[in-house]
Structure 1
Amino acid sequence: MIRLPVFFSAPHRVMFLGGTVQALLAMAFWSLQAGGHYAGLWSPPAWPLLLRFPPPLLHAMLLAGGVFPFFVFGFILTAGPRWQGAGDLPPRDFVPAFLLLAGGWLVVWVSLALPILLVAGLAAALVGWAAVALTLTRIASRRAEQREHITCIAIAAWLGASGLGAFLAFAAGAGATWARAGIALGVWGFLLPVFLTVAHRMLPFFTSSALRGYEVHRPAWALRVLLGASFGHGLLATLELPQWLWLADLPAMLAAGRLSWLWWARNVIDNRMLAVLHVAFLWVAPAFALFALQSISWRTWPGLLGQAPLHALTLGFFASMLIGMASRVTMGHSGRPVAADAAMWSAFCMMQAAALLRVVSDLPGLPGGYVVMWLSSVLWLGAFALWAWRYAPAFWRPRMDGKPG
């Protein structure tokens, strides 16, 4: 049974539970659509909304706007104030935003059957998102020695809000350009900058805390190159200039590869909590390499790799890093020892398999690619269901050590 005072006492509780429900719904929906619409294994339900929103576009909106953001907000609203030397946020700073986000996305799900509700649902979610962005802006404006990370995240939150606003415009009848802008802003303006910034801030810190003698490296140039490349890629994609994306992707590949080299340590793999985070980040450089290869070959073989580069980034990096970071926060803020358990490690390994299958499914010449894509979605769903079974109850239960929060 959910104890509301406990549930509403900390931002990670409400946001992580919202993200967990959204992830299970979104991937169950996509598995159903991928198995039926693409793999031809059954006849998928004929939802009225899909006459306006093609399944791949709805999938992109649900993941970029309605799944990952809950986890991002839960993490940053918990860690961000501490980065700035401030205390924990009171419920008034995150509960109204959560209710708007959760209520808005609930209405979006209902709009599958009643499309007239889609605009209202997205509008409510957008107001909730803007409330979070305002809170992050206030946190970033606090005087502190190091403000670069939280400032980057606050800016990205506003870009993400703009992306959801672009989806709202498309839902209200605007052209497909708005939907493309929504995807670009959601992935390249919000999610990738946030995940990169959090990794740059936290991976060296977590590793130095666990490994004796580990040397911390946080080169500012690498983060700035990666952020510039992310924004540049998003802009070029929105302008439909795929043949020039390599200008952003190659520098990003080199910067990400350099960070992976600097952050890795020989005994990282022996600590599963660290291994999850480091292996997740290892996906970034290959993802940008695939993007660059696809861009360079565009004039000869347009769309050579399909969505393989994107899913190397979103499944390989985002989803894997989410499992590691959300598990760490959940354990640490529920009074449990921060150590990888069998459920987390199994979910992470399943997510690696899902990412590999999804990348392979788009490689040229592969027979049965749509079936492989469906198998990837089933693995994604299974990985997250396992994670939710193990960790979701902590979101509504009191801390094991009796402390508040």
Structure 2
Amino acid sequence: MTTDILSVRSARAAAAPPVLRGAYRLLFPAGALWAVVVAALWIGALAGEIVLPTAMAPLAWHQHEMLFGYLGAIIVGFLSAAIPNWTGRPAFAGIPVAAAIAWWLSARLALLFSSVVPPLAAALLDVGFFVAAAALAAREILAAGNRNLPMPLIILLFAAANGLHHAETMGASLPAGLAVRAGFSIVLLLICMIGGRIIPAFTRNWLVKAGREATAPAMPNGFDKTVVAGAALALAAWTFAPDARATGPLLIVAGLLHAARLARWSGLRTRTDPLLFILHLAYAWLPVGLVLLGLALSGAALPSTMALHALAAGAMGTITLAVMTRASLGHTGRPLVADGWTVAVYVLVTLGALLRVLSPVLPLDYLLLLKIGGAAWGGAFLLFVLAYAPKLAAPRVDGRI
């Protein structure tokens, strides 16, 4: 029976339009485009130029859609690309992929227009998308006896944080900011865990291929487990007890541990390969953001927005573009080589993140810097869509399905 189901799925993939051969083919460009839309609408609302048609406060909507809207799409897209590799089972294709994209988009529009759409209906659509994605991922992983079962469990935690944020915006009595901090922490732990797997592995493979095996990073060991555990403890403290005296120091220590971890990965040796070097640069934002957040909570004269933008615009924004570009090339059968457009994407997202982080302390007009930084950051995602959507909509260049 299982063989018959997999055969049907393979046949469906062969018959489907290329753009529907895996949810990542639409979720990557859709999520990237939504990041541009959300950033533009938020800056317009902040400047008093537009009024958003959502029942949420503008800041709450902005936080929700950057975290659970754009990032949620990229996370589920990444899973849809990775799970067939993990399990050896054919990817979902055709109608299931179209339904998933329609579900995600319906949730985005329902939330944007939640002054008209009942907020509870919007919440059920939004949370349900992640619950369904986690259930399908768990089914595939369990069927293959694969070791990546923690991934769908993390998606369920992300869905729970999403539900908490909806409850908070609908008036539930919850600690202020708990849901956003929880969602942030889950994404940061994903970066810590997945980045800790793929970055040293890709770097080692690249250095070995270049005949520089002696400089290749060691595979993950006990130190990496300590770093992950330290990050989990510090982020849990920030999520549930942001005002506790120990939270700031825990975040600083976690940031320093991540900096030491990154230093072990030979990142500077990869600077001639933008597709690989950007992964190291993206991860570098994680210790920067954790240390800045720890300092802000410990009483340093630093606005906490600097830390949050380092973690969001910096770590999350850069790692999603790094992963999307690499996965899009690999899964469409193209060489893992960054062209000029891809390098421009990396330059823009880095410039945008820097301006978003530094705008509160630079001696220039804050709103102007916010607009320039937002334009650069959003421009990176728009350029990704323009450069990569045609590749994702086309058949694989190597002739495979």
TM-score norm. by structure 2 comes to 0.86
The change in CA–CA distance for 1:193 and 1:168 in structure 2 (over 3 A counts) is same
Residue of structure 2 in register with 1:58 after alignment: 61
Matches of 2:251 and 2:224, distance apart in 1: 13
Per-residue Cα deviation, 1:69-111 (whole angstroms, up to 9, x for no partner): 111111122213423x432333377554443222211222233
Per-residue Cα deviation, 1:192-231 (whole angstroms, up to 9, x for no partner): 1112211111112211222221244213542453355346
User: Mean alpha-carbon deviation: is it higher for 159-168 or for 116-125?
Assistant: 116-125
Counterpart among 100, 105, 109 of residue 106 in structure 1: 109
Structure 1 residue 185 and structure 2 residue 161: aligned? no
Pairwise CA distance, 1:141 = 3.9
Matches of 1:14 and 1:160, distance apart in 2: 21
Matches of 1:265 and 1:224, distance apart in 2: 21
Counterpart among 25, 28, 32 of residue 16 in structure 1: 28
Say which SS state the counterpart of residue 372 (structure 1) adopts: helix
Contact 1:184/1:235 (CA < 8 Å) preserved in 2? no
Residue of structure 2 in register with 1:39 after alignment: none
1:29-108 equivalent positions in 2, closer than 5 A: 29-34=41-46, 36=47, 43-49=48-54, 52-83=55-86, 85-91=87-93, 96-108=99-111
Unmatched tracts of structure 1, length 5 or more: 37-42
Residue of structure 1 in register with 2:157 after alignment: 159
Per-residue Cα deviation, 1:238-264 (whole angstroms, up to 9, x for no partner): 444254322431331132112211112
Counterpart among 235, 241, 251 of residue 243 in structure 2: 241
Per-residue Cα deviation, 1:150-172 (whole angstroms, up to 9, x for no partner): 34433321111011111221343
Pairwise CA distance, 1:344 = 1.2
User: Mean alpha-carbon deviation: is it higher for 214-223 or for 277-286?
Assistant: 214-223
Structure 1 residue 311 and structure 2 residue 323: aligned? no
User: Mean alpha-carbon deviation: is it higher for 310-319 or for 204-213?
Assistant: 204-213
Matches of 1:389 and 1:202, distance apart in 2: 26
Contact 2:199/2:280 (CA < 8 Å) preserved in 1? yes
Matches of 2:366 and 2:236, distance apart in 1: 27
Contact 1:197/1:223 (CA < 8 Å) preserved in 2? no
Pairwise CA distance, 1:295 = 1.8
Per-residue Cα deviation, 1:91-133 (whole angstroms, up to 9, x for no partner): 377554443222211222233xx34443322311211110111
The change in CA–CA distance for 1:262 and 1:203 in structure 2 (over 3 A counts) is same
Letter in 2 for 1:104: A
Q: Calculate the aligned-residue CA RMSD, in Å.
A: 2.5
Counterpart among 271, 274, 278 of residue 272 in structure 1: 274
Contact 1:98/1:128 (CA < 8 Å) preserved in 2? no
Pairwise CA distance, 1:144 = 5.9
Say which SS state the counterpart of residue 263 (structure 1) adopts: coil
Matches of 1:16 and 1:224, distance apart in 2: 32
Contact 1:102/1:125 (CA < 8 Å) preserved in 2? no
Structure 1 residue 368 and structure 2 residue 365: aligned? yes
The change in CA–CA distance for 1:53 and 1:220 in structure 2 (over 3 A counts) is farther
The change in CA–CA distance for 1:340 and 1:194 in structure 2 (over 3 A counts) is same
Per-residue Cα deviation, 1:314-352 (whole angstroms, up to 9, x for no partner): 121111111111001111112221101111111111111
Counterpart among 343, 348, 351 of residue 350 in structure 1: 348
Matched length: 380
Pairwise CA distance, 1:297 = 1.5
Matches of 1:262 and 1:317, distance apart in 2: 18
Pairwise CA distance, 1:378 = 1.4
Matches of 2:258 and 2:141, distance apart in 1: 25
1:187-202 equivalent positions in 2, closer than 5 A: 187-189=184-186, 191-202=187-198
Contact 2:52/2:58 (CA < 8 Å) preserved in 1? no
TM-score norm. by structure 1 comes to 0.85
Counterpart among 327, 337, 340 of residue 339 in structure 1: 337
Letter in 2 for 1:260: L
Counterpart among 380, 395, 398 of residue 401 in structure 1: 398
The change in CA–CA distance for 1:169 and 1:251 in structure 2 (over 3 A counts) is same
The change in CA–CA distance for 1:243 and 1:350 in structure 2 (over 3 A counts) is farther
Matches of 2:65 and 2:399, distance apart in 1: 36
Contact 1:4/1:396 (CA < 8 Å) preserved in 2? no
Matches of 2:316 and 2:52, distance apart in 1: 29
The change in CA–CA distance for 1:126 and 1:224 in structure 2 (over 3 A counts) is farther
Contact 1:181/1:238 (CA < 8 Å) preserved in 2? yes
The change in CA–CA distance for 1:143 and 1:400 in structure 2 (over 3 A counts) is closer
Pairwise CA distance, 1:188 = 0.5
Matches of 2:26 and 2:268, distance apart in 1: 37
Contact 2:53/2:112 (CA < 8 Å) preserved in 1? no
Counterpart among 221, 227, 244 of residue 219 in structure 1: 221
